[in-house]
Amino acid sequence: MSERPDEKATRDTTEERLGDRRVKLSKHWSYNLRSDPKRLPFVLARYKFAARLGSKGRSVLELGCSEGVGALILAEQATHYTGLDLDPDAIARAKENWTEERFTFHLDDFLGSDHGTFDTVVSLDVIEHIDADADDRFFDAIVRHLEPKGMAIVGTPNVTSARYASPLSQAGHVNMFSAERLATRMRENFVNVFSFGMNDEVMHTGYSPMCHYIFAVGCTKRGE
Amino acid sequence: MSDETDAGGSDRWHDVRAMMDATPGVAFEHQIADWLRQSPRRMLFAMSYYKFAAKMVGAGRCVLDIGCGEGLGTWLMAVECGEAKGIDLDTDAVASAQRNWANDPRISFECGDAFELADRRWDAVIDFDGIEHIHPEQADSYLAKIAGLLAPEGVVVIGTPNITSRPHASKRADAGNVNLYSGERLETALKQLFDHVFVFSANDEVVHTGSWLMAHYFLALACGKKA
């Protein structure tokens, strides 16, 4: 079928706008898309949820940003976005793909670092990879990077979902949380903590042991 | 089905019935009876918003429910959070609430003005379908008075219909809605009183974080009361 003139005009405009701004994924996300493409909406839904709660008009720091798959959603309404990750390949990709001024990426494992303070700290799918005896340092890193009245959004797969995880996921997940344990740890650091669950891309407040993924949102640092 | 299995099933149901028969009955009047007869979905939506509020407030908290009506939602808050008090200006509604629920130590009701309750500060104050009936020039002070009832670390949940849903409201509902909010206006009003404000969207029983423009209803969660 031949292309209608208006369709061709749309395509030309899109190509003109896009220029050579192609997006090239790292091995990690290339693997994810090839092996389980439905993972993409699940992960993006987590970012959209975090962005709706904590990004508008705020400076956002992401601990464990990988190649910046969530950076666009988190940065959309933020004053600035900073992403930290310990994977050199991921950070290199992030810097190549997201070049605008509103993005900053640093190669850093963030457990001992100090990049200043932010209004919101987001960390998704990170804490389950940190040994339980070191997870104090994870919460310290969140608190250290937050303004006194800041907000932290932490997401991780529910411990109850571990038995259904892929062997690859299981190998990396050394510190799984229940909703209660996550909320308890967050309450040690924040005055108000709100828990949410997610199954696939759907956010809800249903029975926590049956949530596939869990969030805790902490507001206002303790002792401030 | 053999007679034997049938008899077994009937016995089991009899045991279940015996357990249920021990609980006092519930009788709805006024608004809830009206909902059930005219628009039963309204009860589903209202209770889903109460459940959301209960999950945000958490367990082991004392909750004040302003405009509690017949107290069905207040009961949910009492069960989930541990303690709840409902207050309403409508004498008949409060009498119905007391008949149904007030024999439980976790819950109490009062007929009167919430802002004259000076005896304590609450872990959580919830107010559904209240603010849209307050005249716009008094709305900010109404919200400030709600904040005034809170303990310093307390949380507030405000539920109100979206102004964009107005063309779809029934004439009867719309007549009383003198102060409808957009998501932006609700957020701005609450941010003057609280450090943290989250305006969730709701459509029917689903609470979500989608576009405010298409939300039927808002559930605003706020904490970090400003000094």
What letter would DSSP give residue B38?
A: H
What letter would DSSP give residue A115?
A: -
User: What is the model's pLDDT at position A3?
Assistant: 72
Could you tell me if B184 lies within 8 Å of chain A, comparing CB atoms?
A: no
Which of B209, B211, B213, B219 to substitute to test the interface with A, most A CBs within 10 Å?
B209
Q: Residue ranges per domain, chain A?
A: 24-221
**How does pLDDT run across B1-37, given as a tens digit for each residue?**
445 555 668 888 888 888 888 888 899 888 888 888 8
> Does the beta-carbon distance from B224 to A220 stay under 8 Å?
yes
Tell me what the pLDDT averaged over chain A comes to.
Answer: 93
Compute the distance between CA of residue A224 and CA of residue A189 in angstroms, rounded to an integer: 11
Nearest 10 degrees: Cα torsion B41, B51, B31, B89: -150
What DSSP assignment string belongs to A172-216? H--S-B-HHHHHHHHHHHEEEEEEEEEETTEEE---GGG-SEEEE
- Rounded to two decimals, the ipTM of the complex is 0.86
Could you tell me if B209 lies within 8 Å of chain A, comparing CB atoms?
A: yes
Of A183-192, B87-96, B109-118, least confident by mean pLDDT is B109-118
* Superfamily holding A24-221: Vaccinia Virus protein VP39 (3.40.50.150)
Backbone torsions φ then ψ of A217, nearest 5 degrees? -110, 120
Q: Which two tokens stand for residue B54?
A: 């209960």
The CATH number that domain B41-225 falls under is 3.40.50.150
> Does the beta-carbon distance from A219 to B196 stay under 8 Å?
yes
> Does the beta-carbon distance from B55 to A205 stay under 8 Å?
yes
Tell me what the pLDDT averaged over chain B comes to.
Answer: 93
For B70-92, what is the mean pLDDT? 97
Chain B hits for A218, CB-CB cut-off 8 Å, are: none
Chain A hits for B56, CB-CB cut-off 8 Å, are: 194, 205
* Strands A80-85 and A103-107, sheet pairing: parallel
Could you tell me if B208 lies within 8 Å of chain A, comparing CB atoms?
A: yes
